[in-house]
Amino acid sequence: MGGLVDFASVLIKLVIILLVALMSGTLLVLPDTAMELAPTMLLLVVPLFVLTIVLDLMGASQRSSELGGVLKVLRQPRRS
């Protein structure tokens, strides 16, 4: 599951980068039209950005819980 979350996060980050490039290109080529489309573009980018943050936090929590399980095994006292 962790690999799938990481892949989804990377994929959404690539989509956000492409959308920002599209927005900046539109702003350079057609500044008047870009200002009219800006609210629509932001309504598309902001939820993707929030979803990326949520996926990154899920991946970080999964990795920390896996690491916590490893540390519990290492903390057990040795039996002689």
State pLDDT tens for residues 11-69: 889 998 998 898 888 889 988 888 888 888 888 888 988 989 998 888 888 877 777 65
Give the pLDDT confidence score for residue 71 in this predicted structure.
53
d(CA 59, CA 65): 10
d(CA 57, CA 48): 14
- Total-model pTM: 0.66
- SS3 call for 22: helix
One-letter amino acid for residue 37 of the chain: L
Give me 51's structure tokens. Answer: 């979803």
